[in-house]
Structure 1
Amino acid sequence: MYKNHLVIVFAIDHYNPLGVIRSLGENGVRPIYIAVRHRVELGVKSKYASKVHQVDSVEEGYTVLMENYGEVYKTGEKPFVLFSDDKSVGYFDTHYDEVKERFITYNANNTQGRIMEFMDKKNILDLAKKHGLKVLDSYVCNRGEVPEGIEYPVITKDINPNAGGWKSDVFVCHNEEELKVAYGKISSPVVMLQKYIEKKTEIAFEGCTVNKGQSTLIAIESTYKYAIPAYYSPFMTCKSLHDEKLKASLEGMLAEIGFEGIFEIEFLVDKNDEKYFLEINFRNATWSYAATRAGMPLPYIWVKGMLNGKIDRDDYKEVPGGFTAMVEPIDYAKRIELGLSNPWEWLADFKKADCGFYYSENDLEPFYEMVRNWDKLS
C-alpha cells in the first residue's frame, strides 16, 4: 500500500514483473500480485508480494481484479495497477472506460484505445519521424503479399505486439522465396516488412511519465555487450542519457501520445553508429529493474509521481557508464552457444554484474526457482 492506495501488479509471470514487485517492495510497498501462469513461477515466489492471485489468462485475471478490488474506490483510495506485458496493457487499454473510475493505471490522454493506437508499428514510426528521429524503411502488408519494389534483406514483424506470435513471427528474409516461406509460419494477418541492417548494438531507454506525458524521467540507457541477429542480448551496460536533442524527441513523443505509465524505447544502432528508432513498449520492460539497482525504482517513482502530478527532480540519479546488468540463464546459454565465453569467464562476469534479473540477495526464492528450472529459462 502507498498512502492508503493498494498497489497491484497485473502480469504474465516472468522475471519482468518480478522486477516490478522487487522495485516496490524494496521501497516499502508490498504489492498484490495477479499472476497469469507462465512457464515457471517467479514473481509469485517473491517475499515482497503481500498477496498472490494465480490465474490462467489475462481475461480471468481481469475478472479477479474486478471482483476483489473493483469496488475499493467507493470506500477508499483508488488502487494502482501496474503492467509488464503487452497483452495485459492492450486488454486494459481496450477496457479503459470501465477501469478508469476504479483504478489508477497506464493510459494515454485518459482515452480508451489510444495506447493500442501507438502500439501499431506504422503509427509509432510515423510519430518518431515527426519528432526528428531516423527510422528504417518499412512496408505494411497483409500476410502473403509481396510489395512491389521491396529491397532485400527485410525483417518481418507483427504490426502490433498482440497481433500474432511476437518473436516467433520474426524472420530475416534475403529474397522473395525466403519471404514466402516465412509467410507460411507467421500468424499475424498484417505484417510489417522492415529493411534489415546488420546491427552493431541496440539501445533501450527505461523510464516513466506522468501528467499526460508532461513530466518524464528517462532513467537509463542500456546498450548490449554483444549482438545477436534478430534477437536481443541479455548482457548490457547501462548509463545516463546525456543527448539533450534525443531526449527532447523522446519526451515530445510521449507528450503527444499523452502517456502515463512506465515505458521502454528501443533503437537499433548500425555499424556506422547511426541510431534508428524501433518502438515504444508502453509498460515496464525487462531491463527496468536495472534502473532500480541504479537508484531509480521506476514502479515506485511512477506511483509517487501520479499522486504528486509530477516526477520529483531528486528521483533522478546519475548512472556511471560501467554499470552492468545480466539476464543470467539466457546470457549463459547464448554466450556458450555462440562461443563468446566459457563457463568460468561467464561466472566471473555474473559475479561482477551490478544487476541480476533473477538474483537478489534479499529475495532469493525466485533465484532458487530459476536454478531448479534452468533448462526452461535458458
Structure 2
Amino acid sequence: MDYSKYEVVIIGGDHYNTLWTARSLGAVSIKTFVIVWAPKISKSFVCTSKYVNKYRIAHDEEEVLNILTDNNCQEKRVLISSSDQAAEFVDKNYDILRNKYYLAGCDATKGKLNHWLDKKNMLDLAKEVGLNVAYSSCVDLSKGFDIKELSDIPYPCLIKPELSSHGSKNDYRICENSDELSIALHSLENVCNQVLIQEFLKPEYEATLTGISCDNVQIPTVVHKLRTCTDLQSLGMIVFSKLDNDVNNIISTSQIESLIEKMGYKGCFSVDLMHANGKTYFLEVNLRTDGTMYMSTSAGVNFPLAWVDYCLFHKQSNLCLKKPIHAMTEISYVKYLDYKHPLRCMKEWFMTDCYSIFSWHDVKPFIFKFLYAIKNKR
C-alpha cells in the first residue's frame, strides 16, 4: 500500500504521545500535519521530527478550530487526538468537523465522548460490566459541601478533577483524614467544579491495556509498569516497563470489550489498571491514542496506522505483537534515578529496547528537548 499521497492531522500537546503518533504514521510515508496545542510555548520539540511534514502551534481552543476549519483540502482526512484536551475538543466540535475529517468518537454523536470521560459516568459503567472499582464519590464544589456529609469516605483517599482536562495532576491530593480532605477541597474551588474522591489503594503492580475499536475491539498489548514515578503529580506515570501480549492474565478482556462497546466508541484507546488487595481494579479508560505508543509501535503494533486503514479503506487490521520489549521514559528515569542500586539501573538501561523520545531514526526531538531543558535550568 502506497500511503505517501495521504495526509493525517494530529492534535495534541508538546508531548511524546504526539511525537510517536507522527512517527508511527511517518514510518509508512503518511504525511502528517501536527497541531501542537500548548498555551505557553513558541517552539515545539515534537515539530523538529523528520516525520512532521507541516505544523502549527496553537495557544487556545479558538486558534485550533480556526486552523482545522480554514484549510482548503478537498479530500476528507483522518484527525487523531493525542491528549485528553484534544479528544474533548474534537467531541465538542464534532458536528463542525465531521464533514472534513474522520473522527474518533462515541456513537458518532457530539457530546457522547465527553459524557464517558466524566469519571463518575465512566466508573459507573465499569461497575455495570463487572469490573472492580475502588470506592468513589463525586462532589460539586460550586454548590458548596459539608464535610460531615462525607462521613463514609475511607481514608486515605485521593481527590482529583472529575474531568482530566478541567485540571491537571498538580491538582491531585491525598488526604489522611476529614480535616485534610476539607482543606484540599477548598483549595480546588477555584480550579474546577466537580472533583472525584476515591479510596487510595497502594498497588502491588499497575498495567495499561492498549487497544483499538473498529468493527470490533482488539486489545493486542499490555504494558506492565515495572517502575513508576513516585511523586503525587506524576502518579502512575511509567518510568520503566515491559510490553507483551499477556493480556488475559491481567484481566478478562471480555469485560473491557463490553465497556468499550457500551460506550459506542470507535478509535484508539487505553485502559489503566491496578492490582491491590488481591484484586485487579479498573482506574480509567483513555479515549485517544495512548502515551505508551512508543512501546507498541516499536514492537510492531501500529495503532495510528490501523485507525487510518479503518477510516480510509474500512480495513480492519489484525494487530499482533512481534516480540515483547522493555521500554523507558528516559527523562523520568533520570529524574527518579535510583542511585542506591546502580547495578539494577545499568541492567535496565541495557534491557531497554525503545525510549519515549530518543530514536536513532529521528534524533532531532531528543536533542532539542535536551538542550531546551538545560537552557531553562540556567
Q: Do the structures match in fold with TM over 0.5?
A: yes
Greater mean deviation of Cα atoms: 236-245 or 251-260: 236-245
Question: Which of 173, 182, 199 matches 2:203?
Answer: 199
**In the alignment, which residue of structure 1 is the partner of 2:10?**
9
Matches within 5 A, 1:288-303: 288-303=293-308
Greater mean deviation of Cα atoms: 243-252 or 147-156: 243-252
**In the alignment, which residue of structure 1 is the partner of 2:155?**
152
**In the alignment, which residue of structure 1 is the partner of 2:179?**
177
Secondary structure, in 3 states, of the residue corresponding to 1:299? Answer: helix
- In structure 2, C-alpha distance between the alignment counterparts of 1:3 and 1:98, rounded to whole Å: 27
**In the alignment, which residue of structure 1 is the partner of 2:369?**
370
Question: Which of 44, 49, 68 matches 1:46?
Answer: 49
Secondary structure, in 3 states, of the residue corresponding to 1:335? Answer: coil
- In structure 2, C-alpha distance between the alignment counterparts of 1:219 and 1:166, rounded to whole Å: 29
Secondary structure, in 3 states, of the residue corresponding to 2:361? Answer: coil
Aligned-residue Cα RMSD (Å) equals 2.2
Contact 2:7–2:30 (Cα < 8 Å) also in 1: no
What per-residue deviation string (whole Å, max 9, x for no partner) do you get for residues 142-199 of structure 1?
Answer: 2363313222111002111122x22012111110111122123322211110011111
- In structure 2, C-alpha distance between the alignment counterparts of 1:271 and 1:341, rounded to whole Å: 28
**In the alignment, which residue of structure 2 is the partner of 1:78?**
76
- In structure 1, C-alpha distance between the alignment counterparts of 2:336 and 2:124, rounded to whole Å: 34
Unaligned runs of 5+ in 1: none
- In structure 2, C-alpha distance between the alignment counterparts of 1:57 and 1:142, rounded to whole Å: 26
- Give how far 1:217 is off: 2.4
- Give how far 1:351 is off: 4.0
**In the alignment, which residue of structure 1 is the partner of 2:222?**
221
Secondary structure, in 3 states, of the residue corresponding to 1:279? Answer: strand
- In structure 2, C-alpha distance between the alignment counterparts of 1:351 and 1:366, rounded to whole Å: 22
Question: Which of 240, 265, 279 matches 2:245?
Answer: 240
What per-residue deviation string (whole Å, max 9, x for no partner) do you get for residues 241-270 of structure 1?
Answer: 441871111111111111111111111111
Unaligned runs of 5+ in 2: none
Question: Which of 81, 103, 106 matches 2:104?
Answer: 106
- Give how far 1:92 is off: 1.3
CA shift in 2, pair 1:340/1:106, >3 Å? farther
Question: Aligned residues: percent identity?
Answer: 25
CA shift in 2, pair 1:3/1:328, >3 Å? closer
Matches within 5 A, 1:94-173: 94-143=92-141, 145=145, 146=147, 147-163=150-166, 165-173=167-175
- Give how far 1:365 is off: 0.1
CA shift in 2, pair 1:251/1:99, >3 Å? same
1:18 pairs with 2:19: yes
Secondary structure, in 3 states, of the residue corresponding to 2:213? Answer: strand
Contact 2:37–2:59 (Cα < 8 Å) also in 1: yes
- In structure 2, C-alpha distance between the alignment counterparts of 1:209 and 1:221, rounded to whole Å: 16
Question: Which of 251, 262, 274 matches 1:268?
Answer: 274
- Give how far 1:374 is off: 3.8
**In the alignment, which residue of structure 1 is the partner of 2:212?**
208
- In structure 2, C-alpha distance between the alignment counterparts of 1:340 and 1:55, rounded to whole Å: 43
Relative to the length of structure 2, the TM-score reads 0.89
How many correspondences in the alignment? 361
